Structure 1
């Protein structure tokens, strides 16, 4: 059986990872961005169009774009498939990376629980497994933040989605402004908690190593004459 200190550290690591996974699961189900654009149609007054996007569902709100206003819910992947390929590739990559993050978090939880009740060797079922899974989660989540922001701000995804969703012709969309929503920002605490799980295991490993060194020191410092007997 592992010591109480080891069990406590690994259980706390599993708890942090479980909280982070719950946050990420909620983030994947809510809105990630809102993009607003000025809309100009032929022979009409200026209006606006706003696209609120989650990972799987979105909402388009039009005001005088080009003539009347409306609200249209849409499936993100279905609409992205009808425009240029770059946005759907980047968006799909984000979703796949987030799924891998969840998988790594689940593996980290299982390994942490296993170490809290047993003493495995220094393999991927030990602290190394927690390091690998949690650090992978943190790195992939950071990559998602970068890719998603680039897809929203750099590509013409929003400008192409508006006429595609509503089948509007002869509309000019300008002055795009984008704001990240709660789903996007929840990835940040997920990443921090994943790193926190690593820190807990590292602190245990450092404490255990220091304790072992202190126990070995009296033998190392003993006179050679005593050690001969």
Structure 2
């Protein structure tokens, strides 16, 4: 492939990586990771609420990695209030998983910026082999994709397996018990998914630029070395 086309592909990949970095930074700071509805089970049982009456006992909740907002509904109107994970809910939530999600999100942001720099360096500079050349581009793209997958897996397990929404809703609730009525992942979670897919697209752009995948390249070199050994 001509050098000019390679520069264009690397520039496109660099722009995509930088867009991912900006999107990840925005996602980390928002509370739009999950939206759900919380049922006040105790209040609904007291009045035996069914049908439309049950709506009076269903509140809303949304949160991100650091803070969130909840509307408490127990039949007497909504009572909104905000909460933060640190330090308020630190002892209630699965702290190790939640901190891991934050750390991997920050790592994904850093690796996306590194990936941007290496793509631009390969487009306009004179890259070395190993980590500065195509091998480095494959490496940083794969690491970024892996971080994105880990973020989604850990956050999903925190929400679904450890019932994060219920633990938040029942925090400091003495006489009322709240249960998750429905929940769905919000914009920031899907931003992480899209960014992970864009890193896969970057890997395909590197291959389209004419650079072999690292493992296939190593096999070719081993075959060539073996042929040389046979010749001599």
User: TM-score of the superposition, structure 2-length normalised?
Assistant: 0.78
Question: What's the secondary structure of 1:195's corresponding residue?
Answer: helix
Q: Deviations over 1:49-99 (max 9, x none)?
A: 43211111100111117x663111111232321315xx2221111111111
1:79 aligns with 2:93: no
Q: What secondary structure is seen at the aligned counterpart in 1 of 2:162?
A: coil
Cα offsets for 1:152-207 (capped at 9, x unmatched)? 1111322222232xx32122223542211111111121011111112111111249
CA distance in 2, matches of 1:95, 1:154: 18
Runs of 5+ unmatched residues, structure 1: 208-229
Alignment of 1:106-185 (within 5 A): 106-164=113-171, 167-185=172-190
What is the CA–CA distance in structure 1 between the aligned matches of 2:7 and 2:169, rounded to whole Å? 54
Counterpart of 1:59 in structure 2 is: 69
For 1:204, the equivalent position in structure 2 comes to 209
Residue aligned with 2:29, SS: coil
Partners of 1:60 and 1:77 lie apart in 2 by 16
The superposition leaves residues 104-154 of structure 1 with CA deviations (integer Å, 9 ceiling, x where unpaired) of 111111111111122323210111111111111111101211111111111
Task: Please state if 1:186 is matched with 2:191.
Answer: yes
The alignment of Structure 1 onto Structure 2 pairs a total of residues equal to 201
Give the unaligned 5+ runs of structure 2: 50-56, 213-232
Tell me the residue number matched to 2:219.
none
Q: Contact 1:29–1:183 at 8 Å: present in 2 too? A: no
Matches within 5 A, 1:23-34: 23-30=23-30, 31-34=32-35
CA RMSD of aligned residues (A): 2.2
Cα separation, partners in 2 of 1:89 and 1:35, compared to 1, 3 Å = farther
Q: CA deviation at 1:6?
A: 2.6
Please tell me whether residue 93 in structure 1 is matched to residue 103 in structure 2.
no
In the alignment, is the contact (CA less than 8 A) between 1:9 and 1:204 conserved in 2?
yes
Please name the residue that 2:218 is paired with.
Answer: none
TM-score, structure 1 normalization: 0.79
Matches of 2:198 and 2:163, distance apart in 1? 33
Q: State the alpha-carbon separation in 1 of the partners of residues 203 and 46 from structure 2.
A: 58
Aligned mates of 2:159, 2:36 — CA distance in 1: 8
CA contact (8 A) 1:53 1:76 kept: no
